[in-house]
Structure 1
Amino acid sequence: MKKFEEKTLNSEKIYKGKIIDLQVDEVSLPNGKTSKRELIRHPGAVAVIALTPEGKIVMVEQYRKALEQSIVEIPAGKLEQGEEPAKTAERELEEETGYACRDMKPLISFYTSPGFADELVHLFIAEDIYKLENASPPDEDEFVELLEVSLEEAQKMIEEKRIFDAKTAYAVQYLQLKERLKEK
């Protein structure tokens, strides 16, 4: 048995969408009472840390409707049905940035909002990246601007809230830690 497990008594599908599904579950709590849980089901996603040969972080700026603003992010995207995360990472890197890599290495996977969503993001590091002559275009409903920023510029973007999402902040902190360990 899982500690503090909530057993599902009833599950109602509310919405089935292109990216997410929404359901409401009635659950039995550890103390015997019941409660409702609103849950977002997501197929999972990938995010990619890619550094240019000059050591710049490859990022994109795009408008995020949920935030009603543009933010700067590392390349990322949703897993397609049956697609391996490393393949998704390679595809998203190419579509969003025009870059490819010779080696895509997994770093870590993490849940973005486990209080209400099951989205699992697989974070990769793209090694030995290079610009493609004929890269795949972004999705037709995706408008992004390519940015290549230094670690210091990325840190400043976090302070200015231009970088404002967990996966990108995590990536910047990972690179900061890696840099500090190199200095020792």
Structure 2
Amino acid sequence: MKLESEDLSAVFSIIDAPDWMNVIPLTPNNEIVLVEQYRYGIEQPTLELPGGMVDPGEMPEETAKRELLEETGYEGSDWEYLGKVSSNPAFLANYTHLYVVKNCHKVQEQNLDGNERINVHTMPLDDFLEMVKEGTVHHSLVVAAVAKFLLWRR
């Protein structure tokens, strides 16, 4: 982009983070599996989708399956890729990949990292969508995943 004035200058801080992923896990009863964890930026817990950082050499779908199992103890079948969104293009250089998976069942206990404190919740999908609509669920990447999901579902 060309600036009209040579007097303008700016310094930008860019974080070159690895890609992330989020997954919308649905049970056969059309319940969604969610994670609740404390977020230090807003100093309160948030209700979110399972997700995480894509490890080097790992494909986003592999990460989605691994993170779902580690964070919740659930596995599912019928995986669909919903696309990707810019995590925050103002200062992050990465993308967040979004998935939906059906037929989720609990198959094991959580296998959390040392710094993770995650509570697992299930609820009817419509109740969760209402929480997003009301703003109770407000994590921007979760809201973006819900938008992609609703477009995919229609």
TM-score by length of 2: 0.86
> Which ranges in structure 2 are unaligned for 5 or more consecutive residues?
none
TM-score by length of 1: 0.73
CA distance in 2, matches of 1:171, 1:150: 17
Match of 1:150 in 2: 124
Q: Percent of pairs identical after alignment?
A: 31
The answer to whether the 8 A contact 2:19-2:53 is kept is yes
> Which ranges in structure 1 are unaligned for 5 or more consecutive residues?
5-28
* Structure whose CA Rg is larger: 1
Displacement after TM superposition at 1:129 (Å): 2.1
The answer to whether the 8 A contact 1:90-1:104 is kept is no
Bigger Cα displacement from structure 2, 135-144 vs 55-64: 135-144
Query: Could you say what secondary structure the match of 1:91 adopts?
Result: helix
Bigger Cα displacement from structure 2, 81-90 vs 146-155: 146-155
Corresponding letter in the other structure for 2:147: Q
Q: 1:172 aligns with which of 130, 146, 151?
A: 146
The answer to whether the 8 A contact 1:77-1:88 is kept is yes
Displacement after TM superposition at 1:58 (Å): 1.1
CA distance in 2, matches of 1:174, 1:58: 17
The answer to whether the 8 A contact 1:49-1:125 is kept is yes
Higher strand share: 1
**RCO comparison, higher one (Cα < 8 Å, 6+):** 2
The answer to whether the 8 A contact 2:22-2:145 is kept is no
The answer to whether the 8 A contact 1:63-1:70 is kept is yes
Bigger Cα displacement from structure 2, 45-54 vs 164-173: 164-173
Aligned length: 152
